[in-house]
Amino acid sequence: MHDVSIIIPTSNRSASLQLCLSCLLSCTTRVQPQRVYVVDNGSSWQECRRTRKIVEESGCVYLLLQHARGSASARNYGVRNSQGRWVCFLDDDVIVMPNWHAKLCTTLDKLDIEDVVGIEGKVIAQGTGLWDREVSNEYGRNYLTCHLIYRRSAFLHAGMFDEHFSSPMAEDHELAVRMLQQGRIVFAPDLRVKHRRPNLDWQSRFVNSRRRINALLGAERYFYAKHTAGYKSMRYANTFAGTYRTMLFKHAWICLKRRSLYQLVQHPEQAAGLVIISLFEQFCCWLLLAKFGWPEER
């Protein structure tokens, strides 16, 4: 049995968590529930009660952060309270395959060598809608913490997740830069999970556009300031200025280009929503020039 701790942060999604745990604990080779740590990241009082009941009835370990501090803080808290030589991060909206744990053990048998500090698992997006494939990792080099395993010693040596990232934006890539300085992160295509289609609230997404873009630009600027040389290994642009200029002039076009013409035609209402929201997000980038300044190379 490999010494692996599984960390799952959650917040106000008890139903999603219940499905995640059910699939995880039903793997063909048994997952020991006492090695699964669920971190409740500031759920409401009612959701907190539901989450705690689900976790304790499953035999897993329930950890509570009374005030939401972001996914980086929640994952770090889970690691601090676990013991495994390897730390596996899952999100509460993923569904592991029935053979997931067997594949995990096989993968660790092959890759438990000194220069391997991490393992990326495959993430398969569910659904055919325009927003359903936002989270996927089919070929590696995405370093998504919804399905990622790190060697504990290397993770601690790297300094864990940077808790400056209060929103789930860029914190996984920033950590990957530090982890890659210590060794290799290997993609394991046979280690698969499905990422459930999101419950998209169009009105909320539109209303919160400025806040979301502000958080994204803040995270990108911090990421670049911290890793001036390493930033370009995770982004198409070499600098934060390049990323910001792209968002100012091409954000809506890139959002459309990421979808095929067939998808846009098949989902006309979603396509209309995508155009409206992406254009408004691009407009928000211009509104935030007063805060972030004109993106000039320095």
Domain ranges across the chain: 4-195, 202-292
Could you report how far apart the first and last alpha carbons of the chain are, in Å?
Answer: 52
Confidence of residue 95 (pLDDT cuts 50, 70, 90): very high
Q: What is d(CA 164, CA 161) in angstroms, rounded to the nearest whole number? A: 9
Average the pLDDT over 280-285 and give the result: 97
Q: What is the pLDDT of residues 128-141, one digit of tens each?
A: 888 888 899 999 99
In tens, the pLDDT along 176-224 reads 999 999 999 999 999 999 999 988 788 888 999 999 999 999 999 999 9
What is the model's pTM? 0.95
Residue 90: what pLDDT?
98
Q: What is the mean pLDDT of the chain?
A: 94
pLDDT one-digit tens code per residue, 222-246: 999 999 999 999 999 999 999 999 9
Q: What is the pLDDT of residues 38-90, one digit of tens each?
A: 999 989 999 999 999 999 999 999 999 877 788 999 999 999 999 999 999 99
Among candidates 36, 94, 42, 48, which has minimal Cα distance to 70?
Answer: 42
What tokens appear for 6 in the block? 């599984």
Residue 88: name the closest of 196, 186, 3 by CA.
Answer: 3
Segment (H or E) for 173: helix 171-180
Q: Which CATH number fits domain 4-195: 3.30.420.270, 3.90.550.10, 3.40.640.10, 3.30.2350.10?
A: 3.90.550.10
**Confidence (pLDDT) at 298:** 65
| Percent share of the chain, pLDDT over 70 | 99
Please give the pLDDT value at position 179. 98
